[in-house]
A and B are shown apart, each in its own frame.
Chain A
Amino acid sequence: MKNLSKSLYILVVASTYLVSCDSKLEIEPRQSISSEVALSTQPDVRNALIGAYTVIAEPALYGTNLVMIPDLYASQGYVNWTGTFSTYRDISNQSIISTNEDVTRTWTHAYEAINITNTVLGALDVFDDEDDRNEIEGRALFIRGIMHFELVRLYGVPFDNNGNNSGLGVPIVTTPVKSVSDIKNDVARSTVAEVYTAVENDLKAAATKLEGTPYLYAVHGMLSRVYLQQSKFNLARDLANEIIESGEFSLASNLEAPFRTKNSSEGVFEIQQTEQSNAGSSNDGLATFYSSYVNQTGGDVGRGDLSINNAFYNSYTSSDKRRTTMIYNGDGAKSGLFTKKWYNYFDNIPIVRLTELYLTRAECNFRLNTNIGDSPLNDINILRERAGIDPLTTITLQAILNERDLELAFEGYRLHDYKRTKRNIGSMAFSDPKLVFPIPYRERAVNKNLEQNTGYQQ
């Protein structure tokens, strides 16, 4: 009897443990949400689009690399890399290997942004309202377009306005990956011409969808840049002119304002940054690399890794405000000359400023011998006057390009402008294979169809 009750007691204890344990293996995450619920409503899809903006704002893209690398990569006689990051040092020396982490992360993040936009574009059915739908679709197409554009400029052979551009560009991706079965691991590189066509199509479609919205100017600004890169001068000019004449933007009198004031009067397309969302303040971020000064509380701001070459500094007239107010002697982590464009960690990052459009309009008008909007001489002199230097009396292509170099310095134009205008970078021809990024090693390891660029081992 005693044994029986004992056994009974034990059984009861044991069974209380055993009962209902099975359901305890089903644990829902609290930190994230499952993909099934992530795209089911209008706010969900809108949220996903915001996700794409956060990706393009990351340091791998506009947060640092897409702005800094085109200058760093064309460093000769222009900027000095003095930092410890060997990835950037190798880019600066045009001595890149395919495992370069910055080459890799710019590639992977650009396609991450593209995949998000494809996911958004595939989920537009949730929108009943035409306007809402157009806005989301247009903005998604815009990001997809500019990402392919940035990729083809860095990883593809240069666009040649005299050639058929059948050289290798980058893969064009237009379908979303939402589950394992969507993955295509054999996507090949499209030609440069095909990529530019896809970019144009995305941006043109985006412009149509965003007609009448404030997002339109960013699209036109980038599309103008896409046209200019292909020497489609009339199209580039017309879009530049449209933005200038829209009256939405005006040149700031203070040269520093477009970089200090968020969404300034010059800002056509800006990456938004705040204290809580930014590209970084210790190992990433434009101000991290570009600044070197002591702040009010005595702390060093910036690593001072990227200083301005004396020769380039001297190419500004000594009274040029772009030299006197926008370049300073570093007294923080390093000494040397530094730009004030990238000065505070949490400032916005202008990607398209009004000044670019004046320069584009001037160059295109000059090349086409037209005066759409205004004459090339006037457009250039507007910028020179703002910089506090004497206006020109005659205009040449060389003068326009020179003004462009000075005005848009350190904003990520140099490599692309030099390739476009077929100027040498240091002693290297614009078409030197070393001025094209390798396809990342990690990508080629998983996709046998990706051909490597000339001059790279693996």
Chain B
Amino acid sequence: MRGKLLLLILFCFIANLSYAQNRTVSGQVTDANTKSPIAGVSIKVSQSNNITQTDALGRFTTEIGNQSKTLSFSYIGYNTQIVNITNSDSYQVAMNPSADNIEEVVVVGYGTQTKKSVTGSTTTVKMNDLEDAPLPTIESALQGRATGVFVNSSSGKLGQALQIRVRGISSITAGNQPLFVIDGVPIITRDMGTYDEPDNPLAAINPDDIESLDVLKDAAAAAIYGARGSNGVVLITTKKGKAGRTNIDLSYYGGSSTPTKKGNFLNATQYKELLTTSVTNAGYIGSDPDDQYPTMADFWADWTGGDDWDQNNNSNWVDAGLKKGNMQQIALTLNGGNDKTRFIASGAHNDNKGIIIGNRFVRTSGRLGIDHNVASWLDFGGNINLNKIDNYRVSSDNAFSNPLQLNALPPIHAIRNEDGELNKNTVYYNNLIDLENGSNLSNTYRTFSNVYATAKITPYLTFRSEYGLDFINLEEELFLGSRTQDGGDSGGYGFSYMAKSINYNTNNTLTYQNTFNEVHKFGALAGMSYQDGQFRYTQAEGKNFPSDSFRKIASAAVKSDASSYEDQFSFLSYFARVNYSYSDRYLFEASIRTDGSSRFGSDRQYGTFPAASLGWIVSEENFFGDSPTWNYFKLRASYGLTGNAEIGNYGWRTLYSGVNYAGTPGTKPNQLGDKDLTWENTAGANFGVDLGFFNDRLSTTIDLYHKKTTDLLLDVPIVSTSGFTTILQNYGSLQNKGIEFSFNSRNLVGEFRWSTSFNIAFNQNKILTLVDGQPIYSGGRYLGRIEEGKPFGYFYGKAYAGVDPDNGDALYFIDDSKTTTTNDYSEAADQEIGNPNPKFYGGFGNKFKYKNFDLDIQTQFVYGNDIYNAAGAFQASNGDYFDNQIVTQMNYWKKPGDITDIPQPRFDEANGIRPSSRYIQDGSYFRVKNLIFGYNILNEWLSKYKVQKARLFISASNLLTLTKYEGYDPEINTTFAGSYQLGTDFYTPPQAKTITFGINVGF
């Protein structure tokens, strides 16, 4: 009997196979509201391996077998729809746009969760919103879009690192950049070059390869990255292959860029008037042959060595240092596969000739990603990513060779001599010579590769192992010929630098996920990770070349310098996380991580970082009812510890380095170490509310947080009579507290669609304790100060009190009561004169869609921060020296009784030009960050030629900037001056305003 039954089953099976006759069905998918077709919808046939996609007109055809019961339609931004298969061969499907996706999957540390079940604070930026924007680098996508993430581009130089601060600044000496993780692998973001302004290793990433950025902000979300999480974590997820037809996506854009703003400097007539007044007031013109000159032309000739006082030149040096930039990118992406194997392959070439003369950034990138199901229980996959960057860099803001320093050159100097050669006889270096008589190129080669395997040990238990390699090679080659300032005095100068960063990482996790009695959802994760990073470089320097045609050090008669370097670090970590939810209503999560780092001494290597969080979805409660207006209400609370170890690799040791005294080798102590050095700790609490109204047409999130960092890794200033000036110790504390608010609304959902997003973050930073209350302050040209009870890097110095109407003297307030003034700078007391930290910042975006047209306007704002123009002493100095001045200086004090802010010009007497609040201004700004206007061409004709999608677009960046700041651009922060000089402008180049046109075709 048994045998018969078996036979029967077998028979049925075979029969089934033979009768599983396939038929072909077809149909069209449209948007339920706009009635327009949707391209690219995935259609999965149940009980089969068939996956297909709709074409440009929303049409599809697929084969179905007899046993197939349903068709499942899914597409990003729409509710997945399941349609029962009937006898009909034709299916018209209208998909509904999904509400704010509380079921949407968000990436968290070592896994994913639905947005609904997340109890920590995270923010997500989907890159498909930015596909057509010419992003210079991936992390700039966060600006204005990620709530609570402050992004400052620092400078308009291409290839330079951005400053990213998640919920404020949480360390004084250690790093403040968030941890960047690509597909689970922490990557290197440290700058590798020799410039005193950091290069940006993240710029190697092609933004088109990225699917999303998820920022983990609070301790609960970041604690699974424990020791590395106190500055927040940015999880970068790359695009993955999708099963179905092979899609070929080809895009191109090209356009041009101009500076957002230019400085307004004196013309030749104004310059001569001001300088003549200044020199005359200082008594240089007269009849005393020892100390005076008969005319300005004589004075000019003697002091500057130039005979061009009366030559009637009128040069615009501002325009000489800037140019119209242009950029283009071509990119190709292929993706496809079947239910067993999926792949994605992409390549892109981006060429950006910047707005600063000599500045250019070229990125060529390629990537291959594969995911494969080996068996029902085993998945395997990986990514290979290769990038090359050619970056023609601009020198440090502080260097005479920075093209923005051309601003300082008098307009009465010719830019070029009559013979066409660049004018060498200038008061300051005519650094255009560097471009004609030199070369400066940085090449970066970077590869990120990772492989993973996931094994389902039981239906509930999964083991995942990941291994990632991040390899960066940087080559800098600089040549300065015999006409240049820095190469001229040595017969030509060549510099070559080769640096390597080798970073590998492995993560191994076990994940358990199960639901008991349908209401108890339980998840657990345990794992370990190990990271090892090495950095090495070799450099050589040569001088005295046979001629400027020889540019390799091989030809240099003097090999003046050579050096090599190596350092290394490692992190070893163990972590665990549990989460539990009851009835999808009460949520609980706890995590713990122990991290060991080679950066600390043997006894103090390990730190432990626990976190816990709770969530309550109130709207799931019966008492909440089914209100059509208020449909979602969730409360979240979290508390946890995170750490920071972003310091040099051997900070705890007392070290001697080798030195050279004219050929005799020696050693010198180069750092005093503290054996007790260990992790910096941040304790963070977060309280959040998520609300949804009108079926989630309107949703909002509010987060309140408090972060306190203790045991700061601090370069503690010590008495220099000890022979050392600082020692790295765990000392002091600071806090950040704030509120974040984000709001999303789908205002119109019909044929004309309009949605709005808005986010704003208020952060208050305060230094709580420092060693014995001692402030950290360098003074000099810079005003940033670290002091107990004050915000990080607030401006401290003399308070400018304007000009004495009687004699034109610059005045300063004697003390902070600001009642009495003095004309003696050194007599005025230093006091608080500004704050570079914004009171709030955020973004406001609107998206419109009508038929085939769409428009996306994203704006961004920063409010309440001050900017200190450290170059004010040169460019806004009432003609104190030869530097050209900004036009406001013409309003200088002329005669007794004049009421003005610009003191009497007195050559070389420093009347009012020393660092003071005179050079501090409001740096608030509002900016139209990105504007994208697109048109999707849909027609039969294209479809016939297998064109799935064709799109034309115009995209603009930094289209409009509103600010009261008088300098170039308010989004600046010169970096060479040190980490606690925030909001400081020093000939810092402006951002680019870019307009591009593009086309995107999919096959």
The residues of A with any CB-CB pair to B shorter than 8 Å are 3, 6-7, 10, 13-14, 17-18, 21-22, 24-27, 29-35, 38, 44, 46-51, 53-55, 57, 82, 84, 86-87, 89-90, 93, 95-101, 107-108, 111-112, 114-116, 118-119, 171, 173, 176-180, 182-185, 187, 272-277, 281-282, 295-302, 310-311, 314, 330-331, 333-336, 345, 440-443, 445-447, 456-458
Contacting residues of chain B (510-537) with chain A, CB-CB under 8 angstroms = 528, 530, 532
Q: Which residues of A contact B940 (CB under 8 A)?
A: none
Chain A residues, CB < 8 A from B561: 275-276
Contacts of A27 in B (CB 8 A): 568-570, 598, 649
B650–chain A nearest beta-carbon distance, Å: 5
* A53–B664 alpha-carbon span in the complex (Å): 10
Given contacts A24-B532, A183-B722, contact A53 B486 (CB under 8 A): no
**CB <8 Å contact, B661 and A295:** no
Besides A7-B457, A24-B598, A29-B649, 13 other A-B contacts (C-beta < 8 A): A6-B377, A17-B530, A29-B650, A33-B657, A35-B669, A54-B666, A99-B778, A177-B722, A274-B663, A275-B561, A276-B660, A298-B483, A443-B720
B436 at the interface (CB under 8 A from A): no
* CB atoms of B482 and A457 under 8 A apart: no
Task: Give the docked Cα–Cα distance between A90 and B873 (Å).
Answer: 13
Q: What are 18 A-B pairs with beta-carbon distances under 8 A? A: A14-B463, A24-B572, A25-B605, A32-B655, A33-B655, A34-B653, A51-B666, A116-B668, A177-B723, A180-B727, A187-B721, A275-B560, A296-B491, A299-B483, A299-B487, A299-B489, A311-B291, A440-B720
CA distance A349 to B486 in the complex (A): 22
Cα A95 to Cα B823 with chains together (Å): 13
A442 adjacent to B567 (CB under 8 Å): no
Stretch at the interface among B52-60, B87-95, B113-121, B299-307: B299-307
Instruction: Evaluate whether A446 and B718 lie within 8 angstroms (CB atoms) in the complex, with A17-B528, A35-B655, A53-B661 already known.
Output: yes
Taking the nearest CB of chain A, how far is it from the CB of B510, in angstroms? Answer: 8
Residues of A within 8 A of B722 (CB): 111, 115, 177, 182-185
* Interchain CB contact (< 8 A) of B659 among A50, A273, A456: A50
Number of interface residues of B (CB under 8 A): 102
CB-CB < 8 A to A32: which residues of B? 650, 655-658, 670
Contacts of A31 in B (CB 8 A): 565-567, 657
> Do A108 and B668 have beta carbons less than 8 Å apart?
no
Q: Distance in Å from the Cβ of A440 to the closest Cβ of chain B?
A: 8
Report B559-595 CB contacts with A as 1/0, cut-off 8 Å.
0110001111110100000000000000000000000
B658 neighbours in A (Cβ, 8 Å): 32
Does B508 lie at the interface of the complex (its beta carbon under 8 Å from any beta carbon of A)?
A: yes
Q: Cβ of A297 and Cβ of B777 under 8 Å apart?
A: no
Indicate whether A277 sits within 8 Å of B506 (C-beta atoms), given known contacts A24-B570, A100-B780, A119-B669.
Answer: no
Q: In the assembly, what is the distance between CA of A107 and CA of B723, in Å? A: 10
B304 contacts A334, C-beta separation under 8 Å: yes
> Which B-chain residue is minimally distant from A281 (CB atoms)?
B489
**Chain A residues near B483 (CB, 8 Å)?**
298-299
Given A22-B572, A177-B722, A299-B489, decide whether A442 and B717 contact each other with a Cβ distance below 8 A. yes
Contact B654 A35 (CB under 8 A): yes
Query: When A295-B491, A301-B489 are in contact, do A441 and B779 touch as well, CB less than 8 Å?
Result: yes
A112 B723 Cβ-Cβ under 8 A: yes
Contact A30:B567 (CB < 8 A) given known A25-B596, A446-B718: yes
Given known A-B contacts A6-B455, A276-B561, A299 and B488 have beta carbons under 8 A apart: yes
Q: A32-B655, A272-B661 are in contact. Are A95 and B489 (CB under 8 A)?
A: no
- B719, A184: Cβ atoms closer than 8 Å: yes
Q: Which residues of A contact B721 (CB under 8 A)?
A: 111, 114, 171, 173, 184, 187, 443, 447
Determine whether the beta carbon of B718 is less than 8 Å from that of A97: no
A24 to B572, CA, bound (A): 8
Instruction: Write out the residue numbers on chain A whose beta carbons fall within 8 Å of the beta carbon of B304.
Output: 334-335
Which of A275, A295, A310 counts the most chain B CB atoms within 10 A? A275
Q: Are B724 and A177 in contact (CB under 8 A)?
A: yes
- With beta carbons under 8 angstroms apart, the residue of B718, B777, B828 that contacts A185 is B718
CB distance from A258 to the nearest CB of B (A): 17
CB-based contact B662/A177 at 8 Å? no
B605–A445 touching, CB < 8 Å: no
Is B485 at the interface (CB under 8 A from chain A)? yes
* A3 to B376 Cα, complex, angstroms: 13
Q: B660 CB to closest chain A CB, in angstroms?
A: 5
Counting CB contacts under 8 A, is B418 at the interface?
A: no
Q: Which of A33, A44, A112, A282 contacts B724 (CB 8 A)?
A: A112
List residues of chain B with CB within 8 A of the CB of A93: 910
Contacting residues, chain A, for B874 (C-beta < 8 A): 84
Q: In chain B, what residue has the closest Cβ to A39?
A: B656
Measured in the bound complex, the distance between the Cα atoms of B558 and A274 in whole Å is 12
Q: Find out whether the CB atom of A17 lies under 8 angstroms from the CB atom of B666.
A: no
- Considering the complex of A and B, which 10 residue pairs feature the smallest CB-CB distances, nearest first? A299-B488, A115-B723, A99-B779, A50-B666, A272-B662, A51-B668, A335-B305, A35-B654, A108-B720, A32-B655
A335 touches B567 (CB 8 A): no
Residue on A with the closest CB to B881? A84
Greatest chain A CB density within 10 A among B463, B489, B572, B598 is at B489
- Residue in chain B with minimal CB distance to A274: B662
How far, in Å, is A448 (CB) from chain B's closest CB?
A: 8
Q: Which chain B residue shows the least CB distance to A310?
A: B290
Q: Does B492 contact A (CB under 8 A)?
A: yes
Answer whether A38 and B662 are a contact pair too, CB < 8 Å, given A10-B455, A281-B489.
no
Q: Are A297 and B572 in contact (CB under 8 A)?
A: no
Given contacts A13-B465, A34-B653, contact A443 B492 (CB under 8 A): no
Chain B min CB distance to A150 (Å): 15
Is B77 located at the chain interface by the 8 A CB criterion? no
Known contacts A29-B650, A310-B290; A89 and B910 CB within 8 A of each other: yes
A62: min CB distance to chain B, Å: 12
Contact of A97 among B655, B778, B825 (CB under 8 A): B825
Q: Across the interface, do A335 and B301 meet the contact criterion of CB distance under 8 Å?
A: yes
* Cβ 8 A contact of B528, one of A18, A282, A300: A18
Q: Is the CB of B654 within 8 A of A178?
A: yes
Verify A6–B457 contact, CB threshold 8 A: yes
User: Which residues of chain A are near B482, meaning CB under 8 Å?
Assistant: 297-299
Query: What mask results when residues 415 to 429 of chain B are scored 1 for a CB within 8 Å of chain A, else 0?
Result: 000000000100010
- Residues of chain B within 8 A (CB-CB) of A458 are 830
What is the distance, in angstroms, from B152's C-beta to the closest C-beta of chain A?
A: 26
Q: Is the CB of A97 within 8 A of B598?
A: no
CA distance in complex: A33, B655 (Å): 5
A345 to chain B: closest residue by CB: B489
Chain B residue contacts of A443, Cβ below 8 A = 719-721
Which residues of chain A have C-beta atoms less than 8 A from B567's C-beta? 29-31
Q: Does B914 contact A (CB under 8 A)?
A: yes
Once the chains bind, are A24 and B530 in contact (CB under 8 Å)? yes
A residues near B492, Cβ cutoff 8 Å: 297
Task: Judge whether B818 is part of the interface by a CB distance below 8 angstroms.
Answer: no
Q: Is B302 within 8 A of A33, CB to CB?
A: no
Q: Are A38 and B669 in contact (CB under 8 A)?
A: yes
The answer, yes or no, to whether B674 is at the interface (CB within 8 Å) is yes
Closest to A38 in B: B656
Check if B303 sits within 8 Å of A335, measured CB to CB: yes
In the assembled complex, the CB of B548 is this many whole angstroms from the nearest CB of chain A, namely: 10
Contact of B305 among A33, A86, A330 (CB under 8 A): A330
The smallest beta-carbon distance between A348 and chain B, in angstroms, is: 8
Contact A95 B672 (CB under 8 A): no
- CB of A310 within 8 A of CB of B719, answer no
